[in-house]
């Protein structure tokens, strides 16, 4: 599992290691949804939170990396937007019940020992009718060099995600191969899963 020191080191340089543009899946979906309160766990350098704030969402984000937060706030200033960004790991964050209209899990990979707990916390913080959007690497990603964990216990099977989010209705799900071009760390052929779910 990746710890705080790993991410602080990765985000330490001036360059935005995952770029400043939002994730493509999020970019394609978010403008078509009703604006509200959105949570970005493991938000890193802020590219997705800044995009959502620019669309008029009330954005909440957290990450365990101080250097990631610093760069996220710098990007927000550059784009003339603001959002709430806390320092927290995924198990310590206070997922207040029924507070969010949407949770976006963009390449948030958790070891299987905590994955279900984190995912159910994300569901808990959604209001009834709230949306959860997820994009992550699948186990087939191990044959590619375009990013993601090399530990198979941190990659996402659709069948496991269906169990984690069993109380939600599926609006879209797909396992597919795409050509990633989001940064030097996310570039090339990739095996991913995508989900859009609604809390009942």
Helix residue spans in the chain (DSSP H): 4-10, 24-29, 47-54, 66-79, 112-124, 158-164
Could you report the per-residue pLDDT of 9-57, keeping only the tens digit for each? Answer: 999 988 999 999 999 999 999 999 999 999 999 999 999 999 999 999 9
List the chain domain ranges: 4-199
pLDDT, tens digit (0-9, with 9 covering 90-100), for 66-91: 999 999 999 999 999 999 999 999 99
Per-residue pLDDT tens over the stretch 108-148: 999 999 999 999 999 999 999 999 999 999 999 999 999 99
* Predicted pLDDT of residue 2: 67
Which CATH entry fits the domain spanning 4-199: 2.40.50.140, 3.40.1280.10, 3.40.50.2000, 3.40.50.150?
3.40.50.150
Q: What is the CA radius of gyration of the chain?
A: 16
């Amino acid at each position: 599992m990746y710890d705080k020191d790993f991410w602080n080191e990765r985000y330490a340089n001036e360059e935005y290691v995952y770029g400043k543009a939002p994730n493509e899946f999020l970019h394609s979906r978010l403008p078509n949804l009703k604006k509200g309160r959105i949570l970005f766990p493991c938000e890193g350098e802020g590219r997705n939170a800044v995009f959502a704030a620019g669309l008029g969402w009330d954005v909440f984000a957290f990450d365990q990396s101080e250097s990631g937060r610093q760069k996220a706030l710098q990007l927000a200033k550059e784009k003339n937007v603001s959002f709430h960004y806390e320092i927290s790991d995924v198990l310590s964050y206070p997922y207040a019940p029924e507070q969010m209209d949407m949770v976006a899990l963009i390449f948030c990979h958790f070891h299987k020992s905590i994955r279900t707990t984190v995912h159910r916390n994300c569901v808990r913080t959604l209001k009834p009718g709230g949306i959860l959007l997820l994009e992550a690497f699948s186990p087939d990603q191990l044959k590619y060099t375009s990013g993601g964990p090399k530990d198979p216990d941190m990659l996402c099977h659709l069948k496991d995600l269906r169990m984690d989010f069993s109380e939600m209705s599926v609006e879209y799900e797909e396992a597919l191969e795409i050509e990633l071009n989001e940064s030097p760390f996310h570039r090339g052929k990739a095996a991913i899963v995508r989900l859009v779910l609604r809390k009942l």
